[in-house]
Structure 1
Amino acid sequence: MYQTIHYEKQENIGIITIDRPEALNAINGAVIEDLEKAIAEVEQDGELGCLIVTGAGRSFVAGADIGVQQPFDLTAGRNWGRRGSALMRRIEKLEIPTIAAVNGFALGGGCELAMACDIILASEKAKFGQPEVTLGIPPGFSGTQRLPRRIGVAKAKELIFSGKVIKAEEAKDMGLVNAVFAPEELMNGALEMARSFAKNAPIAVKYSKACIDRGMQMDIDDGIALENEMFGMCYATEDQKEGMTAFLEKRSATFHNK
């Protein structure tokens, strides 16, 4: 079904692995098409509690394939940027939590893919950057929008204007990365975090994500009103009754996403 990625499930956790070793997993049309299909599969799977995105080999995603982009004219460049940005936005808008497990290079489109996820975990060998200006273009898959939202405007401008590539620890210090792991422990760390999300009441987790993501684009009063509404809506769910009853009965809750 897929040419450039692998998609698997471990219980209620989905794992997408980008596997295009001849190009360090660089994004081309086939990768975008495969990711679009995989995200459609994730969107339709009501059992999933978390999604992990990672790369095979020594790269997460080394960027978008320059050989593909070099001959573009204005129209082709615009369409390429729009398609890639639409994919990143679709990942960002998934209802379930998403984790980027960055095992190596996350440059250009790779950094943008990581930033489309809720959480970024990195191997000690990971490297991040938006080096597009060294190629005569700005970031094209929404990097100019997500990087400043992640690390602040001044630092984002510094990285984007310089095209500088940074190591995992520096990315963590900036707030781009949540945690750094030894290479052999990265996926274990990602799975442990994914399980910690997926064990909780699915509707409550989805609503929490929606409140944060939507609320950050509102003024605080509108954000609080959104939270109040979604907080109230949870009291119409079976999971709320189960969670609170289990707490009072001093037992573990069993949630059914209802």
Structure 2
Amino acid sequence: MRFETILYEVNDGIVTITFNRPKVFNAYSEQMSQELVAAVEKIKGEDGARVVILKGAADNFLAGADITMLNSWSKVADEQGWEKVREILDHHFSPTLLEKLPQPVIAAVDGMAWGMGSEIALGCDFRICTDRASFAQPEINLGIITGGGASQRLPRIVGKAKAMEMILTGKPISAQDAYQWGLVNQVVAPENLDSAVMKIAKAIMSKSPLMVNWAKQCVNLVLDHDLESGIAKELTQFSKTFATHDSKEGTAAFLEKRKANFTGK
């Protein structure tokens, strides 16, 4: 698929996807949805891809959904019923696709991450933002509610009260508030965003790719497992690590005081 609303780049094991509609603040559209779905599928076929980075062109991450798209869904609901809208959305991009990737996904957020932009960031494993970034779920201001998972992910990240505040008032929060609430990992100056993201990416890439994948899976168990069953699944996966080459290499390298040569096996 030829990408027009996003940029897709692969460099030294890092896949970078850039939302590329700067004239409309990188607004999420039907075409972007299709291209993001295709991009995730493309990542699955990238040999050696270790980390995925999402960012926005110019000075914004992604400022919500294109209003024309929302209006088209209203028309569909009027003419064919809301069930048809749900059918359309079942084929749309979902941040859940990012959670299911074996690679860690880092959101590099500058400017606005509003609406679907915030929800996409919430689906990432790390969120690094600039001090001029802002996050918002303004759907309530348009007479609708969140549809990209914010009502489920935000409470798990910032707690119920703060999630309610964002979702029910629609007001944006600053980068500093996002950091205090635990929504982002770091806040940096705009000129330091790329280097901060690369520092995390390189740290991850120095580890076993297999163990990074397994660890991500275990952390994500909290999304749909109770504590006891999640711990049981983690223990099973932990036991399996001792049958891998990388566990033997990791302990040997530690004892021999050298850098480990992980192969992902």
TM-score over 0.5 (shorter chain): yes
Q: Give how far 1:2 is off.
A: 0.8
Q: Give matches, 1:156-195, under 5 Å.
A: 156-195=163-202
- 8 Å contact 2:211–2:264 — kept in the other structure? no
Is residue 90 of structure 2 the alignment partner of residue 78 of structure 1? Answer: no
Aligned equivalent of 2:24: 23
- Measured in 2, the distance between the counterparts of 1:103 and 1:256 equals 34
Aligned equivalent of 1:224: 231
- 8 Å contact 1:215–1:222 — kept in the other structure? no
Aligned equivalent of 1:99: 106
Q: Give how far 1:256 is off.
A: 1.1
Aligned equivalent of 1:14: 15
Q: Give how far 1:215 is off.
A: 4.0
Q: Give how far 1:207 is off.
A: 0.9
- Which structure 2 segments of 5+ residues have no match? none
1:82-122 Cα offsets, whole Å, 9 max, x none, are 344x5211112111111100011100000001001011110
- Gap change, CA 1:218 and 1:125, over 3 Å in 2: same
- Measured in 2, the distance between the counterparts of 1:136 and 1:218 equals 32
Q: Give matches, 1:188-203, under 5 Å.
A: 188-203=195-210
SS at the partner of 1:72? helix
- Measured in 2, the distance between the counterparts of 1:71 and 1:221 equals 44
Q: Give how far 1:239 is off.
A: 1.1
Question: What is the TM-score when the length of structure 2 is the normalising length?
Answer: 0.93
- 8 Å contact 1:69–1:77 — kept in the other structure? no
Q: Give how far 1:81 is off.
A: 4.0
- Gap change, CA 1:131 and 1:10, over 3 Å in 2: same
Report % sequence identity: 39
1:5-29 Cα offsets, whole Å, 9 max, x none, are 1111221111111111121100101
- 8 Å contact 1:125–1:168 — kept in the other structure? yes
SS at the partner of 1:53? strand
SS at the partner of 2:9? strand
- Measured in 1, the distance between the counterparts of 2:33 and 2:104 equals 21
Aligned equivalent of 2:217: 210
1:47-66 Cα offsets, whole Å, 9 max, x none, are 12211100010110000101
Q: Give matches, 1:50-65, under 5 Å.
A: 50-65=51-66
Aligned equivalent of 1:242: 249
- Measured in 2, the distance between the counterparts of 1:220 and 1:149 equals 14
- Measured in 2, the distance between the counterparts of 1:220 and 1:147 equals 19
Is residue 153 of structure 2 the alignment partner of residue 146 of structure 1? Answer: yes
Amino acid at match of 2:53: I
Aligned equivalent of 1:49: 50
Q: Give how far 1:219 is off.
A: 2.5
Q: Give how far 1:248 is off.
A: 1.1
Is residue 38 of structure 2 the alignment partner of residue 37 of structure 1? Answer: yes
- 8 Å contact 1:82–1:141 — kept in the other structure? no
Amino acid at match of 2:45: Q
Amino acid at match of 1:35: L
